[in-house]
Structure 1
């Protein structure tokens, strides 16, 4: 137990050191490139808002897949959440929108559970069906309820949009960091190395934060506590690792899978509610593939809440940066070059260690190949950064999606999915 606790502490320390190094590199790139939006409070405020729906969708995928059910229908469940949140919100206000969006996403999860758990439908096929069903159902409902002549139509709605929500969202600023004079804002405007960057990051993450953002962030530690520190969480994860072993110990695997997938849909629906709150109404297509990016963030995080949070933050930051400044996106080229140089330095340090075995000698050949590739990549990235003044808008817009593919490519080398994820389960039928 002591060894496990010690390993966990070391992982936390490494994570904190990694965050500190990342902030230091971002500050260095900001100074060299002159792109102040890299660490501005506006960029991080936008990144926080854009990360939340991705993180909520990823949490939905985490709950389902930890129970052994692949859920690629998160996008369709988010779409259901957005429509019903907009429909209830314009009539009864934000609380009704929250409840309606949660229930709509949960219903989508229930449909997926019935198909996969009860009838044994292939999980991918069922998820694709949900993704097709969500937009189709919402478009049909919009044409019926928002057409001209209905109360909603008279409020200015159309086939692709709902009337605005009643009431206003609740924004709060965290105490101590945001009370009194805007010290963080003043420090950010100095553009000092590291200090102004820390001020910009803290100001963006603490000023004018929506209550739903705080709720979504709290869901991460809550999910970790429930899944890794409760008997229910142990049963749920056992259903995703070996459902027949769990069955032999008296676990109702069918019930566990149903509960997990319904909760998964509710999280996806909550992500849709957040999008409606941000835009103050439902708009067709406003999910923008965030359900799929949330699934990618979950895989990047190795099916764990902490890694999921990092993946969602990465994708949200890339999206927020391209919204704030298309020129700042080119700083990713320089940032990537710096990371490659750090990698080269670490590999050289490892290679300078005494070579004692034939295996180590064989490995050094591979090291030289990796070093050559990393050096060539760093040179190319620096050259692109120096020669490309401004990226085409088409490339800027797809930056988050390109980043999704690159991150998954790198992360795929260390992934460990639940062993029974996607496996068809039937009571008493050992595979």
Structure 2
């Protein structure tokens, strides 16, 4: 009698560099950056980098990026890559403006969600049902959305009062509000320009000043998403479809249903971000209004390692850099060059501690060049300020690429019964 030897499966080894940063370490890093920012502000006199107005603008600009990122998170956690976020945001801007102009801003919000969801349905049919390449389908959605909205604008907005083929008539505002007492006190404290205290006051003050109801809803969707995806059986099943759909199917999960739901919810989030742009951010629809925010939202999601908290930090970073362009940021960006140079010094020291000497030398050289740039100039060109959000997107993705851990089945084709 022969004995069959069954090899014991080896434990899966974690990917090098994929270990997540713990919450205490993350909070310590954020506190350290805030202290350095305060030091740089005092050295340069660029008090605007942590002003209440700067932070409030950053929050408003971060919301559509964060909503697009949440859309990408839902889709990719189910295993569907959603490059079409930009197109779904475009549909959200147009449908939100069209309905908002006729029936009021809240109707515009609802129709913006519906518009984004319609684009998501097309993406789900292509990728889930027909197994079309996810990137190809997403790019097609972006092109289709752009052409469709431009075509529809000629019939809806061109003949309307104060409208044109590239712009909608003005839409009624949802209104804004402050936290009574707290907002004015924090703003006063921020204007004292004290070390660290004023910076913290500016940061918190920006979060409680000139708020739109839609901003509050958007921020609340971040913890709601975390709770649904990581604390409910629905979220567990959805995430299992993005990790191992064959195993999920063997346990009775309807993979097709969960992928469809995730992609449609993804489009709804992106459409909500588009509606925010046309109703809250500018109160009109403009051709090209999204300006690549769907792609930046996707970058924020990747920077956040497919987690809601990290995504929120990424959206805040991109929103802050974008706000520099709106608030005369040449002086502020010049001050941030010094901050970046100092951070690179710490980065080089960390790499030396890790015994990665070649990257440490490269980082130190870049830091030195940044110091020279700062000392040799008094402000930066306006063109650089405009390009700052896109430069930061590239830098963040390149620096965080080694610590990413995407869902294992993300972007992979799936057919029911393929594991049999």
Tell me whether the two structures share a fold, i.e. TM-score over 0.5: yes
Q: Helix, strand or coil: the match of 2:22? A: helix
Aligned to 2:393: 404
Distance 1:430 1:336 in 2: 50
Moved over 6 A (4+): none
Match of 1:27 among 22, 35, 38: 38
The 3 A distance-change label for structure 1 pair 346 and 124 is closer
Distance 1:344 1:265 in 2: 41
Q: Helix, strand or coil: the match of 2:261? A: helix
| Equivalences for residues 21-420 of structure 1 within 5 A | 21-148=32-159, 153=160, 155-166=161-172, 168-175=173-180, 177-178=182-183, 182-277=184-279, 278-324=281-327, 325-347=329-351, 350=353, 364=355, 367-420=356-409
Distance 1:233 1:316 in 2: 28
Deviation (angstroms), 1:10:
8.6
Distance 2:92 2:187 in 1: 36
Distance 1:146 1:189 in 2: 44
Q: Helix, strand or coil: the match of 1:314? A: helix
Aligned to 2:3: none
Deviation (angstroms), 1:210:
0.8
Distance 1:67 1:55 in 2: 19
* Superimposed CA distance per residue, residues 310-340 of structure 1 (whole angstroms, 9 cap, x where no aligned partner): 1101111111123222221112211111112
Instruction: Choose 69-78 or 136-145, whichever is displaced more.
Output: 136-145
Count of residues in correspondence between the two structures: 400
Q: Helix, strand or coil: the match of 1:171? A: coil
Deviation (angstroms), 1:347:
4.7
Does the 8 Å contact 2:349/2:360 carry over to 1? no
Distance 1:334 1:404 in 2: 19
Does the 8 Å contact 1:188/1:197 carry over to 2? yes
Q: Helix, strand or coil: the match of 2:306? A: coil
* Superimposed CA distance per residue, residues 368-407 of structure 1 (whole angstroms, 9 cap, x where no aligned partner): 3233223222211111011122222222111110110010
The 3 A distance-change label for structure 1 pair 305 and 165 is same
TM-score by length of 2: 0.92
Distance 2:24 2:147 in 1: 47
The two structures, once aligned, show a CA RMSD in angstroms of 1.7
The 3 A distance-change label for structure 1 pair 219 and 426 is same
Does the 8 Å contact 1:322/1:328 carry over to 2? no
Does the 8 Å contact 1:173/1:207 carry over to 2? yes
Distance 1:301 1:202 in 2: 22
Deviation (angstroms), 1:186:
2.0
Deviation (angstroms), 1:13:
1.7
The gaps in structure 1 that reach 5 residues or longer are: 1-7, 352-363
